[in-house]
Chains A and B, each alone.
Chain A
């Protein structure tokens, strides 16, 4: 078994267009949620979201590429460029053949779907652009990342709703750990903040119209975000041999399925994933200082997650910090675990724990240290990142300071 480390990180999300901007916003507890700027917003009942602002594909991609890249693919490429540049790797020969891209995504090219349904249904057109299918397919982002960086190894997309990125990164971790690939590019991206995307979520009646307040007694739902997070996972010896900067070690993971309900979370399923990740990483609950919560801000998730953490950590539950950065960058659905991994890296590397902002009222059912409103300095040796998806699919990663 190989040790696996992270040697590159990249992102774009509502808090920033790269990792330094995003971490600064997390340290400052800045909120990326604002009024939605989408077509036909006046017909939406939910008018807030964490949109990526000021993003233009001009200059980043050429005209031909822009015609092929949906917004979720553009986000993935921007994040992958940052991560791979930081890693200092270039891919040729055997390394190129063994390295692949495994990315999480849930909705596919929603902007493309939305625009083209409009065109054929609303405007009655009978012809669509030739690239509609290659733009909207869920694997478009992973494929374009592999093409841009010459990654010829295992490349595919993992789709498990809100756990997609964590499942994807767990899979990439496993490939490096077993020696199948010395390097893997992994993470996830999502862009659902278009009319049809938001309208579909409205139907569930779990969206907040006022803000994302995880673990706060007055929380009233989730707020969607968009963006991407991409990382370079590398065999520790491979990274050491070339003198690469190591951001953190990925120490273990676990996945579980609730096998109970398509939307309601289960404490047992979440707890099995958390305790499984600890076991896989050969860690005890008392070794963990920080957990990046799934923390969606819905009534159901936050109390179930708190109960699951309390069960697994027992008397140590009071000493572990559990924060939800969704309060700042929103819920990136299939890309969320990837952006949230940045908060774990910041805790391990910089000793700064990102806060749960908008925390207003304690909830006895979420009675853990949620790092309310202000970032905290702390020595963090081990961090977990939780993701619990619709469909009852759970994936938890364990990271260590190097």
Chain B
């Protein structure tokens, strides 16, 4: 699980052009300066890194079955998807 968190943070940090240490679990994407295009790119990178399918539609981010409200939520979402994929 720590690996997943670390990898997600690395992906987000790269998108935000920050050091991974600057990405906090309670940071929002807005705090990190990631816009809608950056978000779609981050989700793509996450899907590629974990070989998962993230249910995300840019038209209705709040209603997608994937919480992007902050880094912790994204990590939790990815952990869940990775666990489901293994199940």
Interfacial residues, chain A to chain B (CB-CB below 8 A): 45, 203-206, 208-209, 219-221, 262-264, 298-300
Binding-face segment, B2-10, B21-29, B54-62, B76-84: B54-62
Residues of B within 8 A of A (CB): 36-37, 40, 43-44, 53, 56-60, 63
Q: Which residue of B lies closest to A218 (CB)?
A: B60
Kindly identify which residue among B36, B44, B53, B60 contacts A203, using a CB–CB cutoff of 8 Å. B44
Instruction: State which of A203, A208, A262, A264 has its C-beta within 8 Å of the C-beta of B59.
Output: A208
User: From B36, which residue of chain A is reached at the shortest CB distance?
Assistant: A264
Q: Is the CB of A205 within 8 A of B57?
A: yes
CB distance from B43 to the nearest CB of A (A): 7
Closest chain A CB from B53 CB (angstroms): 8
User: Which residues from chain B contact A209 at a C-beta distance below 8 Å?
Assistant: 57
Which 4 residue pairs spanning A and B have beta carbons closest together? A299-B59, A205-B58, A221-B59, A220-B59
Q: How far does the Cβ of B63 sit from chain A's closest Cβ, in whole Å?
A: 8
Interface SS, A side: loop
A299 to B57, alpha carbons, bound, how many Å?
Answer: 10
Interface hub of B44, B56, B58, B60 (most chain A Cβ within 10 A):
B58
Say which residue of A220, A262, A264 sits within 8 Å of B60 (CB atoms): A220
Closest residue of chain B to A45, judged by CB?
B53
**20 CB-based A-B contacts, threshold 8 Å:** A45-B53, A203-B44, A204-B58, A205-B56, A205-B58, A206-B58, A206-B59, A220-B57, A220-B59, A220-B60, A220-B63, A221-B57, A221-B58, A262-B37, A263-B37, A298-B58, A298-B59, A299-B58, A299-B60, A300-B59
Complex-state Cα separation, A104 to B72, whole angstroms: 46
Nearest residue, chain B, Cβ from A301: B59
Bound Cα distance from A172 to B37, whole angstroms:
35
Question: What residues on A are CB-neighbors of B58 within 8 Å?
Answer: 204-206, 221, 298-299
Task: Report the Cα distance A204→B43, complex, angstroms.
Answer: 11
Contacts of A208 in B (CB 8 A): 57, 59
